[in-house]
């Protein structure tokens, strides 16, 4: 009973979000995605547990990503700059399709088409990130560019594509689509995994973990699930 109560408490904790998320212009719940068509005809898809403000005026088209992740396809034919702001800095689209994700105290940018100019909050110069590249930005620095991961936008089609992905990252991403607690035993955090997994059926995704991995699924009711070492 104590373990079940702890599981429910963890589930409720996992659902807590900053107050700003609830006041956002647009937001999504766990497991929800949402499509937006902006006034300039740009297309936005919000991933699970995301919150977004839209602030268009005569000078610029501005989005403020408060949490979560968005996929952006900017519209052509509008001379106003198209920018995405986060707590870590500013991203300026250069006629493009790109992903922006809030990850703790950092912002991740993945450019799928064309290019994006990125500038940290405390920075004075932009750096151009090209198609097929990704960077991580905190309020002071931009990381070196690296190749964009395979299937970076697969979530917009309901799939998660893992290519030598740390198992912890897989579990974290599946947890974004699941009501309740989904965790990983710390001893397994170093394992890596490749494959395609359905985001909207995390039980099916967990069942699809390769038999070669030394893991098993431990579940107590619908609210508490953990991936733990396989019994020897």
Q: pLDDT of 8-26, one tens digit each?
A: 454 444 455 676 788 899 9
Average pLDDT, the chain: 91
Is the confidence at residue 209, as pLDDT, over 50? yes
Tell me which of 176 and 129 has the higher pLDDT: 129
> Is residue 101 over pLDDT 80?
yes
Looking at the fold, whether 35 and 128 belong to one and the same domain comes out as: yes
Residue that terminates a domain, selected from 147, 169, 193: 147
* Beta partners for residue 89, in sequence order: 86, 120
Give per-residue pLDDT as tens, 140-165. 999 999 999 999 999 999 999 999 99
Which positions ≥6 away from 180 have C-beta within 8 Å?
7, 10, 11, 14, 222, 223, 224, 225
Q: What percent of the chain lies above the pLDDT cut of 70?
A: 91
Domain that holds residue 179: 158-229
105 and 186 in a common domain: no
Both 172 and 132 in one domain: the answer is: no
In a domain, 140, yes or no: yes
Does residue 11 lie within any of the structural domains? no
Report residue 55's pLDDT band, with 50, 70 and 90 as the boundaries.
very high
Are 113 and 143 members of one domain?
Answer: yes
What pTM was estimated for this model as a whole? 0.85
C-alpha–C-alpha distance, residues 8 and 84, integer Å:
36
Residue 47, classified by CB atoms within 10 Å of its CB into exposed (0-12), middle (13-18) or buried (19+), is: buried
Q: Do 119 and 76 share a structural domain?
A: yes
CATH of residue 210's domain is 3.55.50.30
**Same domain? 166 vs 117:** no
- 81 shares a domain with 53: yes
Pair 172, 122 in one domain: no
- Inform me whether the pLDDT recorded for 7 exceeds 80: no
- Tell me if 5 is assigned to some domain: no
Residue that finishes a domain, picked among 147, 177, 208: 147
């Amino acid at each position: 009973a104590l373990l079940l109560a702890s599981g429910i408490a963890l589930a409720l904790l996992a659902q807590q979000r900053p107050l700003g998320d609830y006041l956002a212009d647009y937001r999504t719940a766990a497991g929800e995605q949402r499509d937006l068509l902006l006034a300039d005809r740009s297309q936005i898809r919000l991933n699970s547990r995301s919150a977004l403000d839209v602030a268009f005026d005569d000078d610029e088209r501005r989005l403020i990503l408060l949490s979560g992740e968005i996929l952006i396809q900017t519209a052509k034919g509008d001379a106003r700059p198209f920018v995405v702001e986060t707590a870590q800095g500013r991203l300026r689209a250069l006629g493009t399709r790109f992903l922006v994700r809030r990850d703790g105290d950092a912002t991740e940018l993945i450019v799928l088409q064309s290019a994006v100019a990125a500038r940290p909050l405390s920075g004075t110069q932009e750096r151009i990130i090209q198609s097929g590249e990704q960077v991580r930005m905190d309020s002071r620095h931009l990381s070196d560019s690296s190749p964009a991961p395979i299937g970076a936008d697969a979530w917009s089609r309901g799939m998660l594509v893992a290519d030598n992905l740390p198992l912890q990252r897989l579990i974290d991403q599946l947890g974004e689509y699941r009501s309740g607690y989904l965790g990983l035993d710390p001893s397994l955090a170093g394992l890596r995994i490749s494959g395609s997994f359905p985001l909207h059926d995390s039980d099916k995704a967990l069942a699809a973990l390769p038999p070669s991995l030394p893991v098993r699924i431990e579940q107590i009711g619908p609210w508490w699930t953990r991936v733990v070492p396989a019994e020897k």
